[in-house]
Chains A and B, each alone.
Chain A
Amino acid sequence: MKQLLSVALGVLTAIGGFVDIGDLVTSGLVGSRFGLSLAWATLVGVVGICLFAEMSGRVAAVSGRATFDLVRERLGPRAGLANLAASFLITVLTFAAEVGGIALALELASSVNYLLWVPAAGLAVWLVIWRVRFSVLENVFGLLGLALVVFAVALWKLSPSWSDLAHQVLAPHNPSGEGLPTYFYYAIALFGAAMTPYEVFFFSSGGVEEHWTKRDIRTSRLNVFVGFPLGGLLSLSIAATAALVLLPRNIEVDALAQVGLPVAVAAGKLALAAAILGFVAATFGAALETGLSSGYAVAQYFGWQWGKLVRPREAARFHLVVLASTIAAVATILTTIDPIKVTEYSVVFSAVALPLTYLPILVISNDRDYMGDKVNGRVSNLLGSVFLVLVVVAAVAAIPLMLATKAGQ
């Protein structure tokens, strides 16, 4: 019974934890411009994150070591350092976007300018990372993030033509007025938002923090294969509500407030309050994950003591990196740069960095020295190889498409 509860909690946490500011903004933006004709990109991204999160969870459970711990050892210090530099920068950029997301969500609830919320949000994130137990922070914000289910309720209340929505998903087309480069630019953004590298850093490091063993592989797989796809459905619900309410009114999402409007239109104030709670929880949870992931990446690469289960005094350098990353994230948003733009760039640059994260995971999960008899099977390797080609294509195309479309304008 206790194990069943643990699995249920893990699955619920994975659903709530899947959606972050990148998913919120990108799903709303794409829904308002392309309807559900880009749903395939989210679905492909969900399959990809399931595949590689399962591998990284299995690596953590079998070897007792997290991703970056093994990257340096397996790929060597130079390749490992290049990997670390790119992944760390993307993670801190995503961290800044999440802090901006918390502030924007609080502005929606209070009408107090988001810039005034930014230092408070940064301080709260750092205090929670410093003081709150790992299992508590993982479960509480994941569960509160489930409030975003209100988007699925709003979708149902809007009484859409389900066959029309299904047609948009199953027979994708590029709506008139949108160039093909713009269409594929946003496909890459959705793919990058679903496969953000910090998700696997956090997942594998969390496994080590929770002392996973081979016996936990089943639980880890359930969390991944049930939680992430259901989280993907939340993203699709956000896109679908935007497609139904905003697209016919010529509204293109460029602010978080627009993402929540369809919920108010469909279901009123209480539902909107749930959506705002979901925004705060999802962005706060993701800020904790990105903040911790920045510390995990650096500490694991350099072989420092890391983690929340050891006393801060014994993992001082890990906590110093987390603190410095928090200050950098807060400072970035306080420059008054638009947090939504930071989010848009963070998901596209995430796509650029994807091969650096996922190639080592595929290599290590095939290494019998680390994995023994738990190496990848044929299906995992076939799918992993296909996705590696996809992430390379996305990484190569992302910057040229960004320049050609002026970031999707």
Chain B
Amino acid sequence: MIAGAAVVAVTGCVAPAPSPGAFEGKAVQTAKAALSSVDTALLASATAVRGRLPQPYLETTLSSAEDSLSSIQTAFDSVQPPATATSDRLRDTLDTLLSRGSDGLAQLRIASRREDHAVVAEATRSLQQVADGLDRFEQEHSG
């Protein structure tokens, strides 16, 4: 019973952020998790370009990264931000990066399946910019 209660407590709905500081902390955690998904896709794609990753493995890795980023964005968007202009700006900045990341991952997955190397290169460049943006966001707002 204790185990069940623990799982419910850990996996339950995300509570609204109680303060601007807590909301910023939540945003940093979100950026960190999103960066992990985007960097996974970039590493998988680069390894495939070098001929070191089979197509099924690449497709599975990209789909998994896309799903992961999608659920990260959904969780962040479900948090009610505090009523301050700074929190609204923070939310807009991160949400834009997350949306660009989702679009880039979808583009990369589609292009990889079609083995369209030109679009793969374009999507990779776009995702690298998102990764740099997420990294900067994390650095700027960490402790």
- On A, residues with C-beta under 8 Å from B are 89, 107-111, 177, 245-246, 249-252, 254-255, 257-258, 260-261, 264-265, 268-269, 272-273, 276, 341, 345, 349, 352, 399, 402-403, 406-407, 409
Which residues of B have CB within 8 Å of A111?
55-57, 59-60
Instruction: Determine if B10 and A407 form an interchain contact, defined as CB atoms under 8 angstroms apart.
Output: yes
Are B47 and A250 neighbours in the complex by a CB distance under 8 Å?
A: no
User: A269 near B43 (CB under 8 angstroms)?
Assistant: no
Determine the chain B residues whose CB is within 8 A of the CB of A402 once the complex forms: 6, 10
Contact B64 A255 (CB under 8 A): yes
Nearest CB to that of B142 among chain A residues?
A177
Contact between B3 and A349 (Cβ–Cβ < 8 Å)?
yes
Q: Which residues of B contact A261 (CB under 8 A)?
A: 40, 43-44, 47, 61
B29 within 8 A of A: yes
Structural contact, A264 and B40, CB atoms closer than 8 A = no
Interface of B, secondary structure class, is helix
Given contacts A249-B39, A264-B47, A403-B10, contact A109 B56 (CB under 8 A): yes
> Could you tell me which B residues sit within 8 Å of A by CB distance?
2-3, 6-7, 9-11, 29, 32-33, 35-36, 39-40, 42-44, 47, 51-57, 59-61, 64-65, 68, 135, 142
Q: Are B39 and A269 in contact, with the CB atoms below 8 A?
A: no
- Chain B neighbourhood of A403, CB < 8 A: 6, 9-10
**Measured CA separation A89–B2 after assembly (Å):** 13
Contact between chains at A107 and B39 (CB < 8 Å): no
Q: Is the CB of B60 within 8 A of A399?
A: no
Candidates B29, B43, B53, B142; contact of A409 at CB < 8 Å? B29
In contact, B43 and A406 (Cβ under 8 angstroms): no
- Of all chain B residues, the one with the shortest Cβ separation from A245 is B43
Closest to A257 in B: B61
What A residues does B59 contact at CB under 8 A?
Answer: 111
**Chain B contacts for A341, CB-based, 8 A:** 11
Asked whether A250 and B135 contact (CB < 8 A) given A108-B60, A257-B61, A260-B57, the answer is yes
A89, closest chain B residue (CB) = B3
In the complex, the answer to whether A265 meets B52 with C-beta atoms within 8 Å is: yes
The contact of A107 among B53, B60, B65, by CB within 8 Å, is B60
| Contact, CB under 8 Å: B2 / A399 | yes
**With A399-B6, A403-B6 as given contacts, are A254 and B57 in contact (CB-CB < 8 Å)?**
no
Q: Known contacts being A352-B3, A403-B6, is A250 close to B44, with CB within 8 Å?
A: no
Q: How far is the CB of B90 from chain A (nearest CB, A)?
A: 19
Q: Assess A251 versus B29: contact at CB under 8 Å? Given A110-B56, A264-B52, A265-B52.
A: no
- A349 nearest CB neighbor, chain B only: B3
> Contacts of A349 on B, CB cut-off 8 Å?
3
Provide the bound-state CA to CA distance between A121 and B28, in Å. 39
* 7 residue pairs from A and B, CB less than 8 Å apart: A89-B3, A246-B43, A251-B39, A252-B33, A257-B57, A258-B40, A407-B10
Beyond the given A111-B60, A341-B11, A402-B10, could you list 5 further A-B residue pairs with CB under 8 A, ordered by the A residue number? Answer: A108-B60, A249-B43, A251-B40, A257-B61, A349-B3
State the CA gap A68–B76 with chains docked (Å): 47
The 6 nearest A-B residue pairs measured at CB:
A111-B56, A257-B61, A111-B59, A268-B52, A252-B36, A255-B64
Q: A251–B43 contact, CB under 8 A?
A: yes
How near does chain B come to A258, taking the closest CB pair, in angstroms? 6
| Complex contacts, B35 vs chain A, CB 8 Å | 250
Residues of B within 8 A of A249 (CB): 39, 42-43
Chain A contacts of B135 at CB under 8 A?
Answer: 250
Within the assembled complex, what's the spacing in Å between the Cα atoms of A273 and B32?
A: 30
Q: How far is the CA of A255 from the CA of B64 in the complex (A)?
A: 7
**Are B57's CB and A264's CB within 8 A?**
yes
- Closest-CB distance, B104 to chain A (whole angstroms): 16
Which residues of chain B have C-beta atoms less than 8 A from A406's C-beta? Answer: 10
**Shortest beta-carbon distance, A266 to chain B, in Å?**
9
Chain B residues near A255 (CB-CB < 8 A): 40, 61, 64-65, 68
Contact of B36 among A107, A254, A276, A399 (CB under 8 A): A254
- B57 and A250 contact, CB distance less than 8 A: no
Q: CA of A254 to CA of B39 in the docked complex: distance in angstroms?
A: 13
Considering the complex, give the chain A residue whose CB is closest to the CB of B58. A111
How far is B62's CA from A45's CA once the two chains are assembled, in angstroms?
34
